[in-house]
């Protein structure tokens, strides 16, 4: 595994409770999210990938999510498109109702469009078949 990680994983970009995000050495426009623990980190990677597989072709919903490129079989590694961070004042005042973990670090801009990069804890039961915008309470 160490050789694979040396081939794939670059500079650390950030970390959360269960995953760490790194630059992807294979493609500068991607990041690698590495599960830091067996259950929660891998679960978040798998959920994020599954959500992307379900919504990627929806013009209404898919446009709000950073695309996932691929995932390892066990969910330890998730490759996702890299977003650009912006100044807090550039973030929208309203976001789709299904985003619940509204931290600045969980969002960014991809080719000029506002997207979520951390949706592995998305409250899926809020329904994401329709986009309803609500006031963002950024933290």
* Structure confidence at residue 127 as a pLDDT band (50, 70, 90): low
Greatest mean pLDDT among 37-46, 74-83, 99-108 lies in: 74-83
Average per-residue pLDDT in the chain? 90
Segment 99-103 shows an average pLDDT of 86
Domain range summary for the chain, segments of one domain joined by +: 2-135
Global pTM value: 0.89
Angle 50-137-79 from CA coordinates, rounded to 5°? 25
What pLDDT sits at residue 134? 87
Backbone angles phi, psi at 68, to 5 degrees: -90, 135
Predicted confidence (pLDDT) per residue in 24-34, tens digit: 999 999 999 99
| Pick among 3.30.200.20, 2.40.340.10, 3.30.930.10, 1.10.150.670: CATH of 2-135 | 3.30.200.20
Please give the residue that has the higher pLDDT: either 41 or 126.
Answer: 41
pLDDT, tens only, 37-58 = 889 999 999 999 999 998 999 8
pLDDT of residue 91: 94
């Amino acid at each position: 595994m160490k050789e694979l990680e040396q081939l794939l994983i670059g500079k650390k970009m950030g970390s959360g409770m269960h995953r760490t995000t790194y630059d992807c050495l294979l493609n500068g426009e991607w990041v690698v999210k590495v599960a830091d623990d067996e259950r929660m980190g891998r679960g978040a990677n798998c959920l994020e990938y599954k959500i992307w597989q379900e919504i990627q072709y929806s013009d209404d919903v898919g446009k709000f999510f950073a695309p996932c490129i691929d995932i390892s079989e066990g969910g330890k590694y998730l490759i996702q498109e890299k977003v650009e961070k912006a100044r807090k004042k550039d973030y929208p005042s309203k976001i789709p109702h299904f985003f619940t973990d509204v931290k600045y670090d969980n969002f960014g801009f991809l080719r000029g469009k506002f997207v979520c990069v951390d949706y592995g804890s998305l409250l899926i039961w809020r329904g994401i078949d329709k986009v309803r915008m609500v006031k963002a309470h950024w933290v």
